[in-house]
Structure 1
Amino acid sequence: MYVGSLFSGAGLGDIAAEAIGLSHAWFCECDPFARAVLERRWPGVPVYHDVRDIHGQNVKPVDIVIGGFPCQDISCAGKGAGITGERSGLWSEYARILRELRPRYAVVENVKALLGRGLDRVLGDLAEVGYDAEWDVFPAAAFGAPHLRERVILVAYPGGDRRPARAPILAPGGDLAIHGQPDGPVDWNGLRLAGPQSQAAVSAYSGPVVCRVDDGGTHWLDRLRCLGNGITPAVLRWVIKRILSASKNRSLRSTLNRKPD
C-alpha cells in the first residue's frame, strides 16, 4: 500500500508508516530543515513544498493519506483564530486533496482542542467530499512516552464503506492499555506531570528523558521544533495497524460473499 504524507514535518509519523510496511509515494512540507530530514531518510521520494501544489493530476495515487494539519490557530497556546485561521485554515486544502485523490483512508491528527474548535468543520468538509470518519483522543503516555501529549486522531474513508456489519477501526483493543490510575500531579526525573493520565507516563515509560532545552545552536532549535510538531510514532503505528487489519477483513468478507462463477 502506498502512502502520501501531508504536513510531514521531519517524518515522525512516516517512520511509523514505514515500520509496518507502507511505501511512501510523496511528502509535503514547507519547512526547509524538516524537508532536508525527509530527503535524507527517504532519498528519491518527491517532497513538495506547499500543500496547495498537491493535485490529483501531478502526484502519484495513494491508498492512505496521513498528516496533521497546522494546530497553531486551534491550540490553547495560540491566539484562537480557529480552523479558519491563516495556518490551521490549511485544513481546507487537506479536504480538497481527499476529494481529488480519493484515497481508501485518511489519517488526520491535531491537538485535543480541535474537539471544540473545529471538529464540526472537519466532519462537515469530509461529508461534503464523500467521506465518513471515526475519531478519538490518544495520550502518548499510553504508548510509553514520558508525557501526556493528548492528540485527536481521525480516520476517514469513503462513506459508502460503512456497513452495519463493519467493526469500528478505532474501537479499543487489547493491544492498547493505559497503565495505572492518576493520583494527581507526579514529579518524575525533573518533569512535572499533571493531567488525567499522569501516572500512566511514569508506569509506562522506561527510556531516557528528553527535555525541551536549548544549547544555543541553530540546528538544535530546528530539531526541537521538529520534535514539537511531530506525532508520537507509536500512536500512529497503532492506528495504521488497525486500518490495515480493517482493510484486510473487508477484503476477506468481499471474497467470502462473492457469488461463485
Structure 2
Amino acid sequence: MDRPSYYEFFAGGGMARAGLGSGWRCLFANDFDLKKCETYRANWGGEELFPGDVRKVTTTDLPGRADLVWASFPCQDLSLAGAGAGLKGERSGTFWPFFEIVKALRKEGRHPPLLVLENVCGALTSHGGKDFTALCGALAGEGYRFGALVIDAALFVPQSRPRLFIVALHGDFVAPAELTTAEPSPLWHTRALLTAQERLPHALREKWIWWRLAAPAARNTRLADIIDDRPEGVAWHDREETQALLAKMSDLNRAKVEAAKRAGRRMVGTLYRRTRYGADGEKMQRAEARFDDLAGCLRTPAGGSSRQIVLIVEKGRVRSRLISARETARLMGLPEDYQLPRNYNEAYHLTGDGVVAPVARHIAAHILEPLLIALRGFSRAAA
C-alpha cells in the first residue's frame, strides 16, 4: 500500500505525527500556538505547517485529498477541571470552525474517508451528554459512521491518561468484520462511554460502530525508568521544601509515603498539589502522592499546582523536585531526540497538551491502516 496521507489539525508539537510514524505522509498541519509551531518546525520542518487560527484555514490551503484527518481539538472547556463551557467555549468550541473545513472538503469531493477526534473523557458527559451528541450529529450530517474508544495511556507508558478517541468512517462501506464487534469491550468501552452511546438519539445510534481494538503487549517501561537522578533544567528541593509538601498531605497520603519507606527498596512516585475543601467548607491545598508505578496525568502548567512533582523514597529519605521537561516527553512516548522548547513552562505546556504517541500508533496499526487497505481494495473492485 502506498503511504497513506493525512491532515493534522490542532497539531501542537506533532505528537500524532510521531505516533502515525514514517509510514504516513503529512500533507497539512495547523496550530494557532506559535510557540508550539516553533517546536513542530524543529522536529518536522515547516513545509506542511499552517500557523494560526483554524478559522483562517480554507480548503485552498489543503493539498490533494487526505486519507485521514486527525484532530485533537482543545479540551479545556470539556475537561472536568474546566469551567464547563463545553463546545460553546472559546477553546473547545474551535471544533466548529474546524468541522466547517471538513464540510467544505465534502462539497469539493475531497472529504477524508477516515477521521479521528481526540479529547478528554469529559467530552462524554459535558452538558449532560449533549456535547457528545453534537459531535456525533456533526459527523452523521456529513455522511460519517462512527464509534469511540477510551484508551488509557497507562497501557503504553507509565502515565495515567485516559482519553476519548472517536474514529469515523465515511460512506456506506462496511468495515471488515475483524475490525468491529457486536459486544463492547470493557478494556476500551467504559461505563461512561456506554452511557453516552445509549443517550444518543436512535438515528445516531444507527450510525454507531463498536470498534474492535487488539489489546497491546504488556507495558515494559516503569516510571522509575524515565526518571533521572540528575535531571536537566530542574533542581532537587531542599529539605524544608520537601517537608512542606509532606506537611500538606492527608493521613492517607502520609501513609503512602510511610509504606514506601518500608518497602526496602528505591520507590519512585509522583505528587500533585490540589485544592480541596475541609469539613468546614474552607479551601486548603493538599499534596496527593501515588506510588503505583504511574505518573499522574500531565496537565498544562496554568498554575503551580498543575506542575507534577517527583518523589523518591530511598533508605528512609524522601526527596522531591519538579518533573523535568524531558521526563514529561518520555511520558508522552516521544523519542529522546525529540526537540523540546528551552523554556520549562513552554515544554511542559507542549507535552501536557498532546496526544500520547504510542496510543496514536496503536490506533493506526489496528484500525486505520487495516481500514484503508480494505477501502482501497473496495475501490479497485468497484472500478
Band the TM-score falls in, shorter-chain normalisation: 0.7 to 0.9
Q: 2:47 aligns with which of 45, 52, 66?
A: 45
Change (3 A) 1:39 1:158: same
Kept in 1: contact 2:26–2:48 (CA 8 A): no
Helix, strand or coil for the counterpart of 1:92?
helix
- Which segment is superposed worse, 219-228 or 50-59? 50-59
CA distance in structure 1 between the aligned counterparts of 2:269 and 2:292, rounded to whole angstroms: 15
What's 2:247 paired with?
A: none
CA distance in structure 2 between the aligned counterparts of 1:97 and 1:30, rounded to whole angstroms: 16
Kept in 2: contact 1:134–1:155 (CA 8 A): yes
Kept in 2: contact 1:74–1:82 (CA 8 A): yes
Kept in 1: contact 2:19–2:360 (CA 8 A): yes
TM-score, normalization by structure 2: 0.56
Instruction: Write out per-residue CA displacement over residues 206-261 of structure 1, whole angstroms, 9 at most, x where no aligned residue.
Output: xxx9959378x971100000000001100011111121112213434565x669xx
Helix, strand or coil for the counterpart of 1:65?
strand
Kept in 2: contact 1:2–1:63 (CA 8 A): yes
Q: 2:115 aligns with which of 99, 106, 109?
A: 106
Structural mapping, 1:46-195, within 5 Å: 46-48=48-50, 49-60=52-63, 61-101=65-105, 102-117=111-126, 118-143=131-156, 145-162=157-174, 167-168=179-180, 170-175=211-216, 189-191=268-270
Change (3 A) 1:229 1:174: closer
Amino acid at match of 1:160: D
Helix, strand or coil for the counterpart of 2:66?
coil
Amino acid at match of 1:42: W
CA distance in structure 1 between the aligned counterparts of 2:136 and 2:382, rounded to whole angstroms: 33
CA distance in structure 2 between the aligned counterparts of 1:148 and 1:163, rounded to whole angstroms: 31
CA distance in structure 2 between the aligned counterparts of 1:93 and 1:76, rounded to whole angstroms: 23
What's 1:206 paired with?
A: none
**What is the percentage of aligned positions where both structures have the same residue?**
25
Helix, strand or coil for the counterpart of 1:14?
helix
What's 1:2 paired with?
A: 5
CA distance in structure 1 between the aligned counterparts of 2:371 and 2:293, rounded to whole angstroms: 28
Structure possessing the higher radius of gyration over alpha carbons: 2
Gaps in structure 1 of 5+ consecutive residues: 180-184, 203-208
Helix, strand or coil for the counterpart of 1:152?
strand
Helix, strand or coil for the counterpart of 1:239?
helix
Helix, strand or coil for the counterpart of 2:343?
helix
1:152 shift after superposition: 0.1
Question: Moved runs in structure 1, 4+ residues, more than 6 A?
Answer: none
Gaps in structure 2 of 5+ consecutive residues: 106-110, 181-209, 221-252, 261-266, 273-290, 296-307, 311-320, 325-340
Amino acid at match of 1:116: T
Instruction: Write out per-residue CA displacement over residues 101-150 of structure 1, whole angstroms, 9 at most, x where no aligned residue.
Output: 3111111100011111221110001111211111110000011x222110
1:159 shift after superposition: 3.2
Kept in 1: contact 2:269–2:292 (CA 8 A): no
Instruction: Write out per-residue CA displacement over residues 24-52 of structure 1, whole angstroms, 9 at most, x where no aligned residue.
Output: 11110111111011112222423221211
1:160 shift after superposition: 1.9
Kept in 2: contact 1:106–1:155 (CA 8 A): yes
CA distance in structure 1 between the aligned counterparts of 2:352 and 2:42, rounded to whole angstroms: 20
Structural mapping, 1:216-227, within 5 Å: 219-227=343-351
Q: How many residues align?
A: 241
